[in-house]
Structure 1
């Protein structure tokens, strides 16, 4: 019997070992001519009243690598920096969005994290969203870029700006010790982890947070998906219900974000976008951050999840809750309507 369980515990199946595919809405434009783009942007900036439409059309339909070439050509042509020129010509949420597009995805994430920890008070919402939703590879790159841009270590800044179990969870994620997906499904380990999560939470008085942190920050995503499924055979509540019962505040929000991203990352972002546009008007900061950070990653898939979950398209929702040039830029990043 022990031999059988050992064999089942190491049974090989193919699951999740391949590279995560991307579903961008912004893709490289054909017949790309950076010098022509740079000349058009220079003319648009010099126009009386500024021709925002031309600037939006160019910058929202080029990838970061292409925008970088446009910036190089602009500096050669206009003898000034494109970022500085955009800051001088634009304002408000449109300026924030277009300046965000002039950074790579990792540079943008690193800058958003830095801004979340700048000065008095901490923007925990931004910290949780970025740190808890990014993969190991993305976090590695964010850490490298953070060091390059700010001459500081991300983990030291996180440690200095947060405290308690919330800090421990974020630091464990930033340390990127998550296992890579494997072709071996270890059923015994899945069962042990599910039982440990249950015994460290719902089954006892108080929560063994350190056990929860180690499992949720070190196991691979496909493994955890199976753990949460197995967890239901031990607990009367699913993992998300258990989190809500066991912990509160930033720690609760962090664990819930992790579980939601493990289950369906694009649905998590679709729900965040919906949340950003629930009230009258829109939470521009949140809306901008997701649209800019995901447009070259998985925004197409987020769009599809949005329609499926909220019974209306992301395009229509943006149209109803935003206005002006900012709306135009968002709709172009959205990349089309899902009728």
Structure 2
């Protein structure tokens, strides 16, 4: 199966290493943030002191939880207390002392080690010391809340409030009995804001004039036949590339004609064109929830669609998706909690992975790469895979689901240098089926997200049994994040030697082709 990952707010950086293999970092950059020998790793309780307090569960509306600390538990037997061997042993020369920070892992042309992410996202570089974190200016609404009603009248910019959170890393203790150890950081990092469309409209966002467009939409679906070209032209207009503008268009249509735009589209179109138009007018959050509903409810489970929605997402997005799924399933009391629905549909080991994801405890995007943490996770990965007979999927999942993309990139790079084997190859060798797909989806997003996106655009149409719905939803998801879409298109051309437009024209036809090309910006 073809896994995905998620999503928004990521930008392309500088040139990455060719292929998926983790490469050697260039020399001469600053080392990863590490404490002096003999000192406890950042955020751990010094020997002899009581453990740090346990973090309380995060409520969807309760943002105060961001100020609470992650819990810390004693290290596994044989590992030694914090600040003592083997945690503070010097790693082998050439491995433990990283010379540079890893790239973001978010885009085909990734930035070289020690460079800051592309400007415009206002995020501090990964791996920097605690001092000097800039506050994030953010044009989007508070995280974890679905869009509600119209955007408010007037111009203005919503400033996302930086909040402190001691973000922990989850990693297994020993093979066969993974423990939920959480290592605190000595400094706070701002929570990753929700992707555009995964919170309410920013305060002061101006409404746009939709009057002529809603008249065009109604005329296109009124009377005999349907003007599909008019539908595509209006709904893919640059005016509506913002999810809140699209929501306003849908609401204005309903208020003007007392009709449901989605129902009219279902009545007047069919097939893949209908699927694409509905995915577009729903906006990214509702479409994610609808895709989960279709993937999980009924006969069988579409793990590809499930992975596309929940893997590699920020904590804020996961919370928003979980609540939106519950909203659209509110009339189904037995099947409205996402975690419970997944548990009914997948095997227990795979459910453990999704359970970790839905806890929304992934390292925030601005959490740095700390050499001691990477060293420990690399050794745990080896112990859970090649180091034993019978790999521990739960142990590997614990590490992957708790790490952000930059940390995953650093883990893959360090594993290759320490054990002289590609971590992707190890996962492919040790696991099979849906578990392999899910683990690879998270890992490859960290290694090179844009290349992974490009491969996932091609995969559904490049098989004997095509999965057009999967392709459509992947295109629509990228449409809401133009930076990520452009990075994926550039990666596709570099990998396959021709533009994505050519592939789409070869595989599709008619109005379906026109819609996909318009969403890709290739019409």
The TM-score, its normalising length taken from structure 2, stands at 0.59
Aligned residues: 331
- Secondary structure at 1:319 match in 2: helix
What is the Cα deviation at residue 6 of structure 1?
5.2
Q: 1:32 to 1:235 in 2, by over 3 A?
A: same
Which residue of structure 2 lines up, in the alignment, with residue 26 of structure 1?
none
Which residue of structure 2 lines up, in the alignment, with residue 52 of structure 1?
228
Paired with 1:43 and 1:130, the residues of 2 have a C-alpha distance of 34
What is the Cα deviation at residue 278 of structure 1?
1.8
2:505 counterpart of 1:319:
yes
Q: 1:31 to 1:79 in 2, by over 3 A?
A: closer
Paired with 1:212 and 1:282, the residues of 2 have a C-alpha distance of 31
Name the structure with the higher helix share: 1
Q: 1:247 to 1:324 in 2, by over 3 A?
A: same
Q: Deviations over 1:56-92 (max 9, x none)?
A: 1011222332222222222233222111111111111
Q: Paired residue for 1:268, among 452, 463, 469?
A: 452
Q: 1:210 to 1:279 in 2, by over 3 A?
A: closer
- Secondary structure at 2:361 match in 1: coil
Moved more, 178-187 or 263-272: 178-187
- Secondary structure at 2:282 match in 1: coil
Paired with 2:250 and 2:367, the residues of 1 have a C-alpha distance of 44
What is the Cα deviation at residue 36 of structure 1?
0.9
2:450 counterpart of 1:289:
no
Which residue of structure 2 lines up, in the alignment, with residue 328 of structure 1?
514
Q: 1:334 to 1:8 in 2, by over 3 A?
A: farther
CA contact (8 A) 2:214 2:249 kept: yes
2:129 counterpart of 1:15:
no
2:317 counterpart of 1:138:
yes
Q: Paired residue for 1:259, among 405, 424, 443?
A: 443
Q: 1:35 to 1:274 in 2, by over 3 A?
A: same
Q: 1:315 to 1:8 in 2, by over 3 A?
A: farther
Which residue of structure 2 lines up, in the alignment, with residue 27 of structure 1?
none
Moved more, 116-125 or 174-183: 174-183
Equivalent runs, 1:144-163 vs 2, <5 Å: 144-151=323-330, 152-163=336-347
- Secondary structure at 1:103 match in 2: helix
CA contact (8 A) 2:193 2:316 kept: no
Moved more, 214-223 or 179-188: 179-188
Q: 1:161 to 1:265 in 2, by over 3 A?
A: same
What is the Cα deviation at residue 198 of structure 1?
0.7
Paired with 1:109 and 1:22, the residues of 2 have a C-alpha distance of 12
Which residue of structure 2 lines up, in the alignment, with residue 82 of structure 1?
261
Moved more, 105-114 or 174-183: 174-183
What is the Cα deviation at residue 295 of structure 1?
0.5
Q: Paired residue for 1:33, among 209, 217, 223?
A: 209
What is the Cα deviation at residue 280 of structure 1?
7.0
Moved more, 126-135 or 38-47: 126-135
2:75 counterpart of 1:43:
no
Q: Deviations over 1:278-337 (max 9, x none)?
A: 247953112111011220122222111111211111111111110001111101000137
CA contact (8 A) 2:405 2:445 kept: no
Which residue of structure 2 lines up, in the alignment, with residue 100 of structure 1?
279
Q: 1:157 to 1:329 in 2, by over 3 A?
A: same
What is the Cα deviation at residue 32 of structure 1?
4.8
Query: 5+ residue gaps in structure 1?
Result: 24-29
Equivalent runs, 1:156-235 vs 2, <5 Å: 156-182=340-366, 184-235=368-419
Q: 1:71 to 1:182 in 2, by over 3 A?
A: closer
Paired with 1:73 and 1:130, the residues of 2 have a C-alpha distance of 28
Q: Paired residue for 2:431, among 215, 228, 247?
A: 247
Q: Deviations over 1:91-127 (max 9, x none)?
A: 1110111011111211111110111011121112211
2:250 counterpart of 1:71:
yes
- Secondary structure at 1:100 match in 2: helix
Moved more, 95-104 or 176-185: 176-185
Paired with 1:112 and 1:262, the residues of 2 have a C-alpha distance of 24
CA contact (8 A) 2:318 2:358 kept: yes
